[in-house]
Amino acid sequence: SLQPKDSILSSLTSSRKHNPTLRSLHHAIHTHGLTHRFLRRIMEAREVDLEVVQYERFRDVAQYGEDTVSNVLYLSLETVGIRDEASDVVASDIGVGLGILTALRSTGFRATQGECSIPSDLAAKHSVSMDTLWRAWDASINTPDDVNKMDEAASSQEALRNATREMADIASFHLYRARDNQSSVPKEGRPCLLPAVCGLQYLNSLKEVNYDVLHPSLVGGGESAAGLERRRRLGLMFLLGRTWLTGTF
């Protein structure tokens, strides 16, 4: 049962009669004996993230992935009765990798909110600013008609591409290490690892556009981009189906 100190969980479950999602959460907590600290970490991390305009350090982005995505995976494993360190290590790698990729995927949207998904330390290293983001995004959609603007756009795109590649490389390291170690997860827990497939597919999509994180095919826009996005969705459906059937990603 919930302890008094679990104020966040207590406040959520107290209104479960009026919210079907919370009813399901309450049922899962009591049916599977879900670990409360995983739930607390998720909610606390997401609450803090609401106030973040730009993370200071790259490791903060990785930690956010651990606190949110990894903890969801720990809970998913618990629902199928898996509570062991080896499985949690795989889930941790997947969560960190997906957390980093989620930050990259949000680049365009967060820019429209005056936020930067590239942490300050990497932004400084690669000379990425909000102006850089806007110039790079504009260049991904429209070809500049002025030589000076073309040079600025090319410089902005390269700066953002370098920062994106560095983040993607670290995400790739975690996801591929999870893939190498997935055999340590019992068969009944393999479906819990399906989100890794989406991350690996997004990594491939980034590589296809040379790490242009604001490419129309990744953020939407244009008929050709829509066609590419449809092909990627079909490819993802195939990969998810294969993973579901084989138990490996």
Q: What confidence tens digit (pLDDT) does each residue in 11-65 have?
A: 555 665 667 877 787 788 888 889 989 998 999 999 999 999 999 999 999 999 9
- In this model, does residue 3 exceed pLDDT 60? no
Q: Look at residue 62 in the predicted model and tell me its pLDDT.
A: 97
Q: Would you give the distance in Å from CA 6 to the centre of its chain?
A: 27
- pLDDT tens, position by position, 197-249: 999 999 999 999 999 999 888 887 655 566 666 777 777 777 778 777 777 87
- In this model, does residue 191 exceed pLDDT 50? yes
- CA–CA gap between residue 108 and residue 219 (Å, rounded): 7
pLDDT higher at 139 or 162: 162
- CA–CA gap between residue 232 and residue 18 (Å, rounded): 39
- CA–CA gap between residue 102 and residue 10 (Å, rounded): 29
Residues in contact with 210: Cβ distance below 8 Å, sequence separation at least 6, in sequence order: 161
Residues in contact with 233: Cβ distance below 8 Å, sequence separation at least 6, in sequence order: none
Q: Look at residue 18 in the predicted model and tell me its pLDDT.
A: 67
- pLDDT tens, position by position, 95-130: 999 999 999 999 999 999 999 999 999 999 999 999
pTM: 0.85
Band (pLDDT 50/70/90 cuts) for residue 160 is very high
Q: Look at residue 13 in the predicted model and tell me its pLDDT.
A: 56
Instruction: Quickly tell me which residue has 């009765």 as its tokens.
Output: 81
